[in-house]
Amino acid sequence: MRTLEVPNLMAAVSIDKQRDIANYINNKINFDSSCNFQMLFRGTSKCQSDYLPINIFILDENGYLIWGNSRMIKTLNETEDSLIGRHVSYWGEDKWNACEKILCEGNEEVLEEVGIDQRIYLTNKTSIKEKIDKKIIRGVLGISLDITEQKKFILSKNFL
């Protein structure tokens, strides 16, 4: 019997770790009513998030993409200029519906989804709230991890 070696990315970036990253980003930035997301994130393509095996994106309160790390931009086979300002519904009405729910309710959502590259992603989306008034939601922070190889491994293991 042949053993498959699968990189253990899930251990490296678990749901708890994704939450830690989301909380870190959320807490490091002083989101107040005068916050200009585009000025805050534009031009940060070489930050530490680019070296993690995850895609990170931020949507404003209307569902428009205002920032994505370089890994996410590469995954979508786009450029930063072509992505920034695009509405999340561009990738499917279901994506907008999920984000709209987070924007309205302020809850976190963790789900598996198929990307436009036909790979499987475990995505954690959480609301970004104002620092002073936590009831005001300013956007959505999303962190996704490609779990395609893990899913293939599980399927092949179940098949054997």
Question: Please, which residues bridge with residue 67 across strands?
Answer: 58
Whether pLDDT at 48 is above 70: no
Question: Please, which residues bridge with residue 65 across strands?
Answer: 59
- The span from the CA of 1 to the CA of 3, in Å, is 7
- Measuring CA to CA, how many Å separate 89 from each of 55, 59, 63, 86, 98? 18, 11, 8, 8, 10
Q: What is the pLDDT of residues 133-143, one digit of tens each?
A: 888 899 999 99
Q: What is the pLDDT of residues 51-102, one digit of tens each?
A: 678 899 999 999 999 989 888 888 888 898 899 999 999 988 999 999 999 9
Q: What is the pLDDT of residues 2-45, one digit of tens each?
A: 333 333 333 445 566 666 666 656 555 545 444 455 444 444 44
Q: Which long-range contacts (CB under 8 A, 24 or more apart) does 27-33 make?
A: 30/131, 31/128, 31/129, 31/130, 31/131, 31/138, 32/130, 32/131, 32/132, 33/130, 33/136
Predicted local confidence at residue 20, as pLDDT: 65
Topology of domain 9-159 in CATH is Beta-Lactamase (3.30.450)
Q: What is the pLDDT of residues 98-117, one digit of tens each?
A: 999 999 999 899 999 888 88
Whether pLDDT at 122 is above 60: yes
Domain boundaries, the chain: 9-159
Whether pTM exceeds 0.75: no
Q: What is the pLDDT of residues 148-160, one digit of tens each?
A: 998 888 888 887 6
